[in-house]
Amino acid sequence: MLVTRPSTEEITLERDKIYRALLTSRKNGYPCVPLKHYYISPLKTHCDFYEDAALTKFRGCFPIQEVSLIIEETSLNESLTEEINNPIPQATNEEETDFRQLTLF
C-alpha cells in the first residue's frame, strides 16, 4: 500500500496556537519516541513535540509532514489566556508582607 504524505506547503498552522497531532513516522535515529498523539507547537517547517498539554515534557522536534490528524487545542488556549488576564493576588495581611532583607556578607 502506498501512503502519500502532504508537503509542508499544504499544512499551514499558526505559530501561536497549540495542536494535538498523531506522530505517524520518525527517522531511524529516534526509536525511543513512540508513534502516538502529542501536543505540538508549530515552527516554520518543523514542530516541537510535547507529552503534556502544558508543554513541559519535550519529546523532540520533527518535520510537520510526519504528523497527521492535527486538531487545535482551544481549551488549552482559553486556560492560558485566563491565567494571563487574571492578576496575581496581592498579600493583604501585615503578617504576609512583614519581611526583612537578609544579607549574606
14 belongs to a structural domain: yes
Residue 21 included in any domain: yes
Domain count along the chain: 1
Measure the CA–CA gap between 99 and 34, rounded to whole angstroms. 50
Give the residue among 6, 77, 9 at the shortest CA–CA distance from 41.
77
Alpha carbons 18 and 11: distance in angstroms, whole number: 15
Residue 79 CB coordination number (10 Å):
13
Tens digits of residue pLDDT in 52-102: 888 889 988 888 888 888 888 875 555 555 555 565 556 555 555 666 777
Say what the pTM is: 0.59
Question: Can you tell me whether residue 10 is helix, strand or coil?
Answer: coil
pLDDT tens-digit map of 18-40? 899 888 887 777 778 888 889 99
Does residue 83 belong to any structural domain of this protein? no
22, 71 Cβ separation under 8 angstroms: no
- Answer yes or no: is 82 within a domain: no
> Which residue range forms the structural domain that includes residue 28?
1-74
In a domain, 64, yes or no: yes
Q: Is residue 11 part of a domain?
A: yes
